[in-house]
A and B are shown apart, each in its own frame.
Chain A
């Protein structure tokens, strides 16, 4: 709560605010980082196993195996989101589940499921990218700018 807002409160309310603050569970940054490291690392490890499986079984190369791996992880994340497991797990793991591509799939699947009651076109279709949209918009725009700069620089240099 901002200081400006605090001034308008009565003394009793102020007292309650500081009381509530002291009772808030402390979020330890170190502990959260450790959890994020282990969970995120494990998801990437799983990705590596899937990637090597594609290389050995289906003859993908190291460069092309990334795509089917991401697709499999997204499938797993959508399934676990539907079963209600992923969000429960994400609450505990923080960035460990949000940063890998599974977190991206989770935001899409959970938004789709959540807005299903509003209908398939306006609910599911309209809200699916509510959370994932910013990632795509900023990703595409920044990639566009960087690619434009690089292409112009190479055409000037060569």
Chain B
């Protein structure tokens, strides 16, 4: 049960960091998302992101920071198996579901819906 509380709190706090970057640093949403993805990869590099996932579950896997960490995890897992070239072959291994789903459903949305603006 506890995992639900931590998912809410940690996920919410990551969004607050994003909001502060938007409002105080006055960055565009694209810059904020880019910064968060890079920080996810860097935190993953120091081995700090996976413990956060253990602790907060979806609170850590749903925010975009998780995308950077997943890219890194795929690259490292494949590099373990097949050496340096594995970084290139493995980088999309874990994130494949997210990117494929975004392309497929995004395209289907364009087929089904018309622009409201």
A and B from one assembly?
A: yes
Min CB distance A149 to B, Å, is 7
A129 to B21, CA, bound (A): 22
A84 to B15, CA, bound (A): 22
B106 and A147 within 8 A (CB): no
A100 and B64 within 8 A (CB): yes
A36 and B109 within 8 A (CB): no
Min CB distance A70 to B, Å, is 5
A151 to B80, CA, bound (A): 8
Which residues on B sit within 8 Å (CB–CB) of A146?
41-42, 44-45, 72
B57 and A99 within 8 A (CB): no
Work out how many contacts link A and B, with CB atoms closer than 8 A: 260
CB-based nearest B residue for A128:
B106
Which residues on B sit within 8 Å (CB–CB) of A79?
105, 109
Residue in A36, A96, A114, A117 whose Cβ sees the most chain B Cβ within 10 Å: A36
Q: How many residues of B contact A (CB 8 A)?
A: 73
Q: Mark A75-92, 1 if CB is under 8 A from B, else 0.
A: 100110111100000000
B52 interface hit (Cβ, 8 Å):
no
B30 and A131 within 8 A (CB): yes
Which residues on A sit within 8 Å (CB–CB) of B57?
48, 51, 62
Q: Mark A140-151, 1 if CB is under 8 A from B, else 0.
A: 101110111111
Min CB distance A96 to B, Å, is 5
For chain B, residues 100 to 115, give those with C-beta under 8 angstroms from any C-beta of chain A: 101-103, 105-110, 112-115
Question: Which B residues have a C-beta under 8 Å from some C-beta of A?
Answer: 3-4, 7-24, 29-30, 32-34, 36-38, 40-42, 44-45, 53, 57-59, 61-64, 66-68, 70-72, 75-76, 79, 84, 87-88, 91, 94, 97-99, 101-103, 105-110, 112-117
